[in-house]
Amino acid sequence: MAEIKETETNEPRGLNFVEQEVYSDLQAGKNGGRLNTRFPPEPNGYLHIGHAKAICMDFGVAEKFGGTCNLRFDDTNPVKEDVEYVDSIREDIHWLGFDWGDREYYASDYFPKLFDLACRLIKEGKAYVDDQSSEEIAAQKGTPTEPGTESPFRNRTPEENLDLFMRMNAGEFEEGSRVLRAKIDMASSNMHFRDPIMYRIIKHPHHRTGTTWKVYPMYDFAHGQSDYFEGVTHSICTLEFVPHRPLYDYFVDELADETYRPRQIEFNRLNITYTVMSKRKLLALVKEGLVAGWDDPRMPTICGMRRLGYTPKSIRKFIDTIGYTKYEALNSVSLLEHAVREDLNAIATRVMGVINPVKVVITNYPEDKVETVCMENNPEQEGSGTHEMPFSRELYIEREDFMENPPKKFFRLAPGSEVRLKGAYIIKCEDVVKDADGNITELHCTYDPDTLSGMPGANRKVKGTLHWVSAAHAVDAEARLYDRLFDVENPAAEPDRDFRDMLNPNSLEVRKIKVEPFVAQNAAKGAKFQFQRIGYFTPDYDSTPEHLVFNRTIGLRDTWEKEQKKK
Ligand code: ATP
Ligand code: MG
What is the pLDDT, as a whole number, of residue 562? 54
Average confidence (pLDDT) over 340-345 = 98
371 catalytic? Reply is no
Determine whether the shortest distance from the Cβ of 238 to ligand 1 is under 6 A.
yes
Tell me: pLDDT of 446 over 80.
yes
Taking only the tens place, the pLDDT of each residue in 148-168 is: 999 999 999 999 999 999 999
Weakest-pLDDT range from 6-15, 280-289, 538-547 = 6-15
Q: Is 541 exposed, middle or buried (0-12, 13-18, 19+ CB in 10 A)?
A: exposed
Using most ligand atoms within 8 A of CB, pick from 51, 232, 490 the residue to mutate for ligand 1: 51
- Measured distance CA(25)–CA(34) in Å, rounded: 9
Taking only the tens place, the pLDDT of each residue in 116-151 is: 999 999 999 999 999 999 999 999 999 999 999 999
Question: What's the one-letter identity of residue 123?
Answer: K
- Helix %, strand %, coil % for the chain, to 5? 30, 25, 45
Determine whether the shortest distance from the Cβ of 43 to ligand 1 is under 6 A.
no
Q: How far is the CA of 86 from the centre of ligand 2 (A)?
A: 15
Q: Which of 181, 183, 200, 279 is catalytic?
A: 279
Taking only the tens place, the pLDDT of each residue in 496-525 is: 999 999 999 999 999 999 999 999 999 999
Q: How far is the CA of 473 from the centre of ligand 2 (A)?
A: 53
pLDDT > 70 in the chain, percent: 97
Kindly give the number of the ligand 1 atom that is closest to the alpha carbon of 40. 14
Q: How far is CA 291 from the centre of its chain?
A: 15
Tell me: pLDDT of 536 over 50.
yes
Give the ligand whose atoms come closest to the C-alpha of residue 227. 1
126 catalytic? Reply is no
pTM of the model: 0.94
Give the ligand whose atoms come closest to the C-alpha of residue 53. 1
269 catalytic? Reply is yes
- Measured distance CA(190)–CA(178) in Å, rounded: 24
- Measured distance CA(131)–CA(452) in Å, rounded: 87
Average confidence (pLDDT) over 549-560 = 86
Give the ligand whose atoms come closest to the C-alpha of residue 50. 1
Tell me: pLDDT of 567 over 50.
no
Determine whether the shortest distance from the Cβ of 244 to ligand 1 is under 6 A.
no
Average confidence (pLDDT) over 543-554 = 98
